Structure 1
Amino acid sequence: MTESTRVSRRNLLLGVGGAALVGVAGGGLGYTLGHDEPDKTDKSVGATEAAQAGPPKYRSRPDLRTLPDVTITTAANGTVPGYICLTPASGTGLWGPLMVDEKGSPIWFKKVPDPATVAIDFKVQRYRNQPVLTWWEGTIGGTGGQGVGQGEFVIADQSYREITRVRAAGTEQADQHDFVITPRNSALFWVYQPLPYDLTAQGGPKDGVLHDGVIQEIDIATGKLLFSWKAHEHVGLDESYAPLPQGESAHLPYDFFHANSVGLAADGNIIISSRHTWTTYKIDKTSGQIIWRLGGKKSDFTIEEKAKFAWQHDFRQRRDGTYSVFDNGNGVTKVHDYSRGLVMRLDEAARTAKFVTEYVHPDKLSAPTQGSFRELADGGSFIGWGQMPYFTEHNADGTVRLAGHLPLDNQSYRAYKADWTGVPLDQPALGLHVEGGNVIVSASWNGTTKISKWRARSGTQPGALEGANEGPRSGFETTITVQGTPEYVVAEALDATGKVLGASSAIPVRV
């Protein structure tokens, strides 16, 4: 069930100890759980699934039954304000952008469409000088376990309304690896383009196929292509560390480059990361010519030993002019004992790269794929450990001030932390069940960031709710006990001043 799904009170969902009647008004969800035994003759799909699964994780939102838990292992201490953005991927099928607070409690989740659609690279950006959420939706395939995406990017406003979708120019679809909104309200991202290619010089077939990495810059408002750059026109196949597909797979596309990040340098030129060449490139924004290579087989820089990286992700320039990269050190081969967030200082005139510092997970994690490393406002850093479903927030000296993880059978391509204010337009969700002669009220509001406490109002008629019980917000869903069994209950979300931010529908208590 998505947030926009309309269901009538005739739809039955079952929970432990009773039947659940579902009501909707104005786009909000309201659930009422009674204490009677479920009808043993009910054969509806929803009833069967719920009866087998037991009580929902969130009584106000039983559609989020399989939303993965986020566990905090190092409590926040001196962190910068903000929420954590993840894209959990597992076998549950409940895929989508997920925002959680520093305690691991969900703030907002949106399930992406079935079938086989996943969400990747969920983050906060600015578009037309307003904060927005962006993520990629599509399907992922590839050669040799390397993910190549076909999809499009979503931009949503602070009320979680979709502003637009950004698609690649031409016949290709956008790859998932990165999406950067520029100051001129354009978008930079990658397209993976298969090309017929003679691979005999590399030991492959004459009628082979090359997976080319193509940068596109698209004007978001019009969809016009502003800039394009093709890796194979500037980078030789001899720079790659990736093996050719062999045997029966010999005619699959050779992913020689595997681009995984794109962004702007301080001077306005483009900086990119190529995982399979172990190289980051600076590209002239006007001509498309390579200004320099850092790392790999043809590096223009003399690199200090401790600053060398391999199979990397997420290369960026930081505010002080240094550069950072998530150094996997692991991929087709394992080069380093552990992955790390690496900071280095480049002298572009002298062509030298010096080690500045590294950020390491306390467990010395080694991530064979994926990962992200971003600077925070106070000089600290936030790391998503990619294939390893962990995230850490670090002080400037490298010490960990927040750590957590998704379930160990999950992963999140990247993890970010960002300030965000969410103002959803739908209603709060309400779940009720009777226990010990009292009504237990479960209230939530997907996406809101301003709730300080909840108030449950109850009475004999929807227009005559006199009783009021309050409780502080205690995570995604807050529970309040109402004495006795009133006829109707409404849940109200309050801010720190006591102002009502929103109210659920009036839901009847069924006993």
Structure 2
Amino acid sequence: MNRRNLLLGVGGAALVGVAGGGVGYAIRSPQSSAEPAPTTAAPAKYRSRPDLRTMPDVTITTPANGTVGGYICLSPASGTGLWGPLMVDENGSPIWFKKVPDPATVAIDFKVQQYRNQPVLTWWEGTIGGTGGQGVGQGEFVLADSSYREITRVRAAGTEQADQHDFVITARNSALFWVYDPIPYDLSPVGGPTDGVLHDGVIQEIDIATGKKLFEWRASDHVGLDESYAPLPVGNSAHLPYDYFHANSVGVAADGNIIISSRHTWTTYKLDKTTGAVIWRLGGKKTDFTIEEKASFAWQHDFRQRRDGTYSVFDNGAGVTKVRDYSRGLVLRLDEAAKTAKFVAEYLHPDKISAPTQGNFRELADGGSFIGWGQMPYFTEHNADGTVRLAGHIPLDNQSYRAYKVDWTGAPLDQPALGLTVVGSNVVVSASWNGATKVSKWRARSGTQPGALTTNLEAARSGFETTITVNGTPEYVVAEALDASGKLLGASSAIPVRV
């Protein structure tokens, strides 16, 4: 048993009851005894791809109006096993879905980044909740190219595993992410045991190509226990790790230094990129800034610098305690010399919802913003003035740690998929191509032999799966994907019609 498991007191079984339990994630593994996985398979959702039956539905409640275009990246999760990165269009129609492996594996933080000057998909895979409480992950990051081929996996250096909360590819093709490291710690100064365990927040910067560690930073070297708002574990849980910091974002500021968010100290920090020294604290008990009342935040996520120099954060306003009636995307302007923080704007869900956990807030290319509402299964796209120009949700019993609006072109290497159904004296052709973004219409070719397909019928793409009805019952059918100009992008195999 390694040092991590020894400190956590686990040998394969998940423990519960860490301080702040329920404030990181509110999901359970499909293998949880409290919420067992279903014993019967769900019915096929798509005739051409019955294997994608677990792909969750996305509902658009405010149709797109004046948006920047692009696709929406989600990572739905529920207690019934809907796990995997999901990309949909602005109508909520799936573009690409990947079911991640069982058992108890989840996908988190699915998004588009740049690696070696090329767009890539990235997400985290692993398990959550096995370290003594909800919200802490053990896993690794996946990079995939525009054909959905896995390029590499990024793992933490040493014996630890990467946490799911963030993964940022830098301009030098390295990756910044967090590791939650349980270390022996004297918690008596804050009323805990002298032989306690502390969940330390550790930043690692790893060279993606070589796996070499380039930089490391530990919260316990710079941030005291007295900065935390999280309660200590007590009673039978007193020796479980104290999650005093709960890191949930890491990024690079315009000046090249590192900016981070700590949910349990209500503080965002700027760190020297070379020494790791704290340059300033924004928020919390030891803030270096005078903060306007409307610009204060609590239990926050996703601290970023915007193009105009302002900073943004997803202000949950709720966690162990509820500080604000609703969550929001918050924009602040910092005067780093005068140490003042002023309110610039806030972005709200039309229903002013409160998200006790998770969430993100991102600037878009045209000055608008996109919000994933975390534990609440919603996403919204906003104009610069805060008005909503697109809104939707995943199934209401799901949640998505973050949600992103992305620009993406996908060209899968596999063939289009084809399903055939005989209805009366006709054949219904169902065609799809998981991940293809350039398909504008489909053509069904049919005939008596694979080499003699003389009948052609076309239909505009109508979502993930498009259906075309062929009159009569030909012997064979092929589905062909076409772009807007009619160019052939790919074709299925010739499938025999079985009556």
TM-score, normalised with respect to structure 1: 0.89
Task: Report deviation, 1:66.
Answer: 2.4
1:129 alignment partner in structure 2: 117
Superposition map of 1:314-325 within 5 A: 314-325=302-313
Within 2, Cα distance between the matches of 1:295 and 1:237?
A: 16
Could you tell me which residue of structure 1 aligns to residue 86 of structure 2?
Answer: 98
Equivalent position to 2:62, from 74, 77, 81: 74
The 5 A counterparts of 1:391-470 are 391-470=379-458
The percent of aligned pairs where both chains have the same amino acid is 87
- What are the equivalent positions in structure 2 for 1:35-184 lying under 5 Å apart? 53-54=42-43, 56-141=44-129, 146-184=134-172
Whether the aligned pair in 2 keeps the contact of 1:66 and 1:92 (CA below 8 Å) is no
Aligned 8 A contact 1:279 1:295 in 2 = yes
- In structure 1, the residue matched to 2:23 is none
Distance 1:106 1:247 in 2: 47
Which among 356, 359, 369 is matched to residue 368 of structure 1? 356
Distance 2:362 2:129 in 1: 27
Q: Does 1:357 align with 2:345?
A: yes
2:278 pairs with 1:290:
yes
1:242 alignment partner AA: A
Cα deviation code 1:435-459 (max 9, x no counterpart): 1210000000000000000000000
CA distance in 2, matches of 1:139, 1:255: 18
Q: How many residues align?
A: 461
Show the counterpart of 1:480. Answer: 468
Paired position in structure 1 for 2:496: 508
Counterpart CA distance in 2 for 1:316 and 1:142 is 29
Match of 1:218 in 2: 206
Partner of 1:344: 332
Could you tell me how far 1:91 is from its partner in structure 2? Answer: 2.5
Q: Which runs of 5+ in 1 are unaligned?
A: 1-47
Report 1:320-331 matches (<5 A): 320-331=308-319
Structure 1 residues 253-292: Cα deviation after superposition (integer angstroms, max 9, x where no partner):
0000000000000000000000000000000001110000
**Partners in 2 of 1:231 and 1:463 — Cα distance?**
66
Matched, 1:303 2:291: yes
Q: Secondary structure at the match of 2:484?
A: coil
CA distance in 2, matches of 1:142, 1:321: 39
- What is the CA-CA distance between 1:114 and the residue it aligns to? 1.1
Distance 1:93 1:505 in 2: 31
Give the match for residue 231 of structure 1.
Answer: 219
4+ aligned runs moved over 2 Å, structure 1: 142-146
Structure 2 letter corresponding to 1:177: H
1:469 to partner: Cα distance: 0.6
State the match for 1:280 in structure 2: 268
C-alpha distance in 2 between matches for 1:467 and 1:248: 72
TM-score of the aligned structures, taking structure 2 as reference length: 0.91
For residues 139-190 of structure 1, what are the alpha-carbon distances to aligned partners after superposition, in whole Å with 9 as ceiling and x for unaligned?
A: 0016785400000000000000000000000000000000000000000000
In structure 2, give the amino acid aligned to 1:341.
G
Q: Deviations over 1:376-430 (max 9, x none)?
A: 0000000000000000000000000000000110000000001000000000000
In the TM superposition, what are the counterparts of 1:377-396 in structure 2 within 5 Å? 377-396=365-384
Counterparts of 2:55 and 2:406 in 1: how far apart (Å)?
Answer: 21
- CA distances 1:174-228 after superposition (whole Å, capped 9, x unpaired): 0000000000000000000000011111111111000000000000000000000
What is the alpha-carbon root mean square deviation over aligned residues? 1.1
Deviates more, 1:352-361 or 1:141-150: 141-150
Render the CA deviation track for 1:284-327: whole Å, top value 9, x for unaligned. Answer: 00111000000000000000000000000000000000000000
SS of match in other structure, 1:341 = strand
CA distance in 2, matches of 1:248, 1:282: 37
| Amino acid in structure 1 at the alignment position of 2:83 | W
| Aligned-partner Cα distance in 1 for 2:137–2:100 | 15
Q: Distance in 2 between matches of 1:255 and 1:145?
A: 9
Alpha-carbon distance between aligned partners in 1 of 2:133 and 2:401, rounded to the nearest angstrom: 14
The answer on whether the counterparts of 1:87 and 1:119 sit within 8 Å (CA) in structure 2 is yes
Q: Is the 8 A contact 1:143 1:255 kept in 2?
A: no
**Paired residue type of 2:478:** V
The alpha-carbon deviation at position 93 of structure 1 amounts to: 1.6
Whether the 8 Å CA contact 1:128–1:185 is kept in 2: the answer is yes
Aligned equivalents of 2:278 and 2:137: distance in 1? Answer: 25
Tell me how far 1:354 sits from its aligned partner.
Answer: 0.1
Note closer, same or farther for the CA distance 1:333–1:236 as it changes in structure 2 (3 Å cut): same
CA distance in 2, matches of 1:363, 1:282: 33
**2:152 partner letter:** T
> Are the structure 2 counterparts of residues 398 and 142 from structure 1 closer, same or farther at C-alpha, using a change threshold of 3 Å?
farther
1:26-68: CA deviation from partner (whole Å, max 9, x where unpaired): xxxxxxxxxxxxxxxxxxxxxx956xx55x2110011122211
